Each structure stands twice: as C-alpha cells, then as structure tokens.
C-alpha cells in the first residue's frame, strides 16, 4: 500500500471512530434524560393531597391549591389527610411548626352564609370567608364556596392573620 492509500484508510478509520463515539454519547445522554424524567414523574409532590383520598370524594367539590403550590411557609403535614363520613380532613404546618387543621365537606342543607359570623370577613374568588380569633390564641376560618363546599380552618395556637387569609384566598377547585 502506498502512503496516500494508508492515509485514506487511517482517516476513514478515525472518522468512523468519531462517528461511533458521537452515537454512543447521544445514546448515553438520551438514556440519562429519560431516567431523570421517569424518576421525577414517579416522585410525588409531598404537598399534594393523596390521589387515593381525593378520588373517594363524590359529595362535594374538593378545594386545594393551584398546582399543589401552598402559600409561602406552609406544607401539608405528612399522614394528616383522611376522608371519612363525607368529610375531608388534612393539616397544614407553618414554618414555625404551627398546625392548621382543615376540613372540607358538603354544605349542610340547613346552613346559610348568614350563620357565619366572624370578627373579619374577606371575599375570595370562591366565596365569602370569615375569620375569628378566640380566647387563648386559637383562630378559626370558614369559607362557603359558590358551589356548596364548606371549608373550616382551626388552629390550636396563634397563627398570623395574613397566613389564614392567604390560605382562604388560595383555595382552588381540584
């Protein structure tokens, strides 16, 4: 073989080598991207209400937060979500470790908005909400949605009024 032929064969071999390296690199990157996507998809949001609980609810419209994005500083308390006797129960925890108990249920037939009395009332996108501060620092909040879901909030310790308002304003239909 002459020198020109040898150079051509070596160049072809190098090109083929780089071609295979490029293909293998693309496959490795693709496999990593698919693995990451699958891992994230299988990793549930810890602040989301469990679908196994929400799927049981048929008596009323369930309310929670858009894209499970709770107001700043709040998280769903692990293991706090349950549904029994037509009532959804869950708890939120503030950054200061204060617990806010929340219930949702169908509005009782004999109940009207006029029965809700509080020290403070706010209009939300879903209806009128009332807030009451009780002796000992407890706070309660209630919201009757336009479609008949009755939401109650209760605290055992003082929680910022702005936090209660953010929660009441933040609810959206699931």
For residue range 163-174, what is the model confidence (pLDDT) as tens digits?
A: 999 999 999 998
Q: Which CATH class is domain 51-173?
A: alpha beta
Using CA atoms, how far apart are residues 94 and 123, in angstroms rounded to an integer? 23
- Provide the residue ranges of all domains of the chain, joining segments of one domain with +: 1-43, 51-173
Predicted pLDDT of residue 41: 42
Q: Residue 39: pLDDT above 60?
A: no
Q: Which residues of 76-100 are buried (b: 16+ CB within 10 A; e: fewer)?
A: beeeebebeeebbbbbbbbeeebeb
Average pLDDT, integer, range 106-132: 81
Average pLDDT, integer, range 100-105: 96
Average pLDDT of the chain is: 81
Q: Residue 47: pLDDT above 90?
A: no
Predicted pLDDT of residue 75: 92
* pLDDT tens digits, one per residue of 6-26: 666 666 666 666 666 656 655
Distances in Å between the alpha carbon of 126 and those of 33, 61, 70, 106, 129? 40, 11, 17, 14, 9
104 Cβ contact list (under 8 Å, min separation 6): 60, 62, 63, 87, 88, 149, 150, 151, 152
Predicted pLDDT of residue 132: 87
């Amino acid at each position: 073989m002459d020198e020109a032929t040898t150079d051509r064969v070596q160049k072809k071999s190098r090109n083929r080598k780089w071609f295979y390296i490029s293909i293998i690199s693309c496959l490795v990157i693709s496999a990593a991207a698919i693995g990451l996507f699958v891992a994230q998809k299988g990793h549930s949001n810890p602040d989301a209400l469990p679908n196994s609980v929400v799927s049981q609810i048929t008596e009323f419209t369930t309310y929670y937060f858009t894209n499970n994005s709770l107001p700043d500083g709040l998280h769903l308390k692990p293991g706090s979500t349950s549904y029994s006797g037509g009532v959804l129960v869950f708890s939120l925890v503030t950054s200061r470790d204060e617990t806010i108990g929340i219930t949702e249920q169908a509005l009782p037939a004999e109940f009207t908005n006029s029965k809700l009395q509080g020290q403070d009332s706010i209009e939300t996108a879903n209806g009128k909400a009332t807030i009451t501060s009780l002796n000992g620092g407890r706070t309660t909040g209630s919201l009757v949605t336009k479609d008949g879901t009755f939401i109650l909030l209760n605290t055992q310790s003082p929680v910022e009024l702005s936090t209660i308002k953010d929660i009441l304003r933040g609810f959206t239909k699931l």
